[in-house]
């Protein structure tokens, strides 16, 4: 399944994903992507997930910047990183020393951060000078752009707000897509670490029945455009409750779905279960 995308319409090659700037600096619409990021080890391992990320990076023309909504930055209020040089954050424990040695020195873009702040009217956006790039962000993006030559900003998840807030906030980011900015969400739509089958780590595709049920229902909503079950995920029964015990890994998906325009289609990739209670299912919208 490596590198294969499936969607609601006939597949077209990723090479059609390109942008062209006009004389006023306005570009064709950039795609938006939700990445199931999985284990931090994906940052340094060559596997079906990291190879698909590399392939995607080769086939999408480089954006002018990336705005990432990562599961691993939760705050009271919404913030955007605004430093010139964000630090690489190793926000995990118990992994090999090689992983902690990784630095992803992508620049920031304070001017873009200011524009994001001024462009959002529904809430006050704070400019953050201390966070940086967490592993939900850099462990994926380093495969897309290994030279770290694309500016990267992160937007935090306000943990005091519900899904409707995040869905509406995302819509206020839509104009960035025509300014060369690629907006990505990073999490996992099925993510229950308390129920991981550690003895099944090497069995790709292993999933509990409830994980398969929840993942399939989520994919159905994504492909049909009926987002109500996703926005009301806490009303969908036991499978969803187990799949989303806490919302931070799920919320980034809502940002990406909110940015879908009427003439666009969603495509699924890396649609693989891991260790019973995780799925790597990812979504490209173009």
Tell me the per-residue pLDDT of 69-95, one tens digit each, with 9 for 90 and over. Answer: 999 999 999 999 999 999 999 999 999
In-domain check, residue 144: yes
What pLDDT is recorded for position 61? 83
Nearest Cα to 110, choosing from 152, 80, 82?
82
Token look-up 């509990």 returns: 208
CA-based R_g, the chain, Å: 18
**Helix pair 135-144, 48-59: axis angle to 10 deg:** 60
Q: In sequence order, which residues have a C-beta less than 8 Å from that of residue 168 and are 6 or more positions away?
A: 122, 258
| pLDDT confidence band for 19 (50 / 70 / 90) | very low
What total number of domains does the chain contain? 1
Residue 170 pLDDT class (50, 70, 90 cuts): very high
Instruction: Give mean pLDDT, residues 137-161.
Output: 98
Given a contact cutoff of 8 angstroms between Cβ atoms, the answer to whether 70 and 136 are in contact is yes
- Whether 1 is in a domain gets the answer no
pLDDT at 3 over 60: no
CATH number of the CATH domain containing 104: 3.40.830.10
CB 223 within 8 A of CB 216: no
Domain span at residue 255?
6-13+24-285
Q: How many CB atoms lie within 10 A of CB 87?
A: 15
DSSP string, 30-57: PPEEEEE---GGGGT--SHHHHHHHHHH
What is the number of other CB atoms lying within 10 angstroms of the CB of residue 9? 10
**Taking 90 as the threshold, does the pLDDT of residue 275 lie above it?**
yes
pLDDT at 4 over 70: no
| Any domain includes 107 | yes
Q: In 3D, which of 215, 237, 217 has the Cα closest to residue 227?
A: 217
User: Of 15-24, 36-45, 96-105, where does mean pLDDT reach its minimum?
Assistant: 15-24
- Following CA atoms 138, 144, 149, 150 in sequence, which dihedral angle do they give, to the nearest 10 degrees? -80
Residues recorded for the chain: 286
pLDDT in tens, 195-239: 999 999 889 899 999 999 999 999 999 999 999 999 999 999 999
Mean pLDDT across the chain: 92
- Of the candidates 40, 258, 71, the one whose C-alpha atom is nearest the C-alpha of residue 156 is 71
- Say if 19 falls within a structural domain: no
pLDDT band at 283 (very low <50, low <70, confident <90, very high): very high
Residue 165 forms part of a structural domain: yes
pLDDT above 90: residue 121? yes
In this structure, how many other beta carbons lie within 10 angstroms of the beta carbon of residue 199?
10
Quick one: pLDDT at residue 150? 98
Banded pLDDT at 27 (limits 50, 70, 90): low
Is 95 within a domain? yes
Q: Is residue 36 part of a domain?
A: yes
Question: Looking at the domain assignment, is residue 196 inside a domain?
Answer: yes
Provide mean pLDDT across the span 250-267.
97
In this model, does residue 22 exceed pLDDT 90? no
């Amino acid at each position: 399944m490596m590198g294969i995308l499936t969607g609601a319409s006939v597949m077209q090659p990723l090479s059609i994903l390109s942008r062209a700037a006009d004389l006023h600096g306005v570009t064709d619409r950039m795609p938006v992507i939700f990445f199931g990021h999985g284990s931090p080890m994906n940052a340094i391992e060559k596997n079906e997930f990291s190879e698909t990320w590399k392939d995607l990076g080769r086939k999408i023309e480089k954006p002018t910047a990336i705005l990432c909504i990562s599961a691993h930055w939760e705050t009271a209020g919404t913030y955007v990183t605004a430093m010139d040089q964000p630090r690489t954050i190793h926000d995990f424990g118990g992994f090999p020393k090689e992983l902690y040695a990784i630095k992803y020195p992508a620049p920031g873009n304070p001017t873009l951060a200011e524009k994001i702040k001024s462009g959002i009217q529904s809430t006050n956006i704070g400019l953050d000078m201390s966070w940086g790039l967490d592993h939900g962000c850099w462990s994926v993006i380093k495969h897309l752009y290994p030279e770290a030559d694309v500016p990267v900003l992160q937007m935090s998840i306000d943990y005091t707000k519900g899904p409707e807030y995040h869905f509406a906030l995302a819509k206020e980011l839509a104009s960035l897509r025509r300014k060369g900015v690629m907006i990505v969400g990073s999490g996992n739509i099925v993510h229950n670490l308390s129920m991981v089958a550690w003895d099944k780590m090497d069995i790709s595709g292993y999933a509990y029945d409830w994980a398969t049920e929840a993942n399939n229902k989520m994919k159905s909503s994504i492909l049909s455009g009926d987002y109500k079950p996703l926005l009301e995920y806490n009303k969908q029964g036991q499978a969803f409750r187990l799949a989303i015990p806490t919302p931070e890994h799920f919320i980034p998906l809502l940002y990406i779905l909110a940015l879908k325009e009427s003439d666009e289609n969603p495509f699924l990739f890396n649609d693989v279960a891991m260790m019973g209670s995780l799925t790597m299912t990812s979504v490209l919208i173009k």
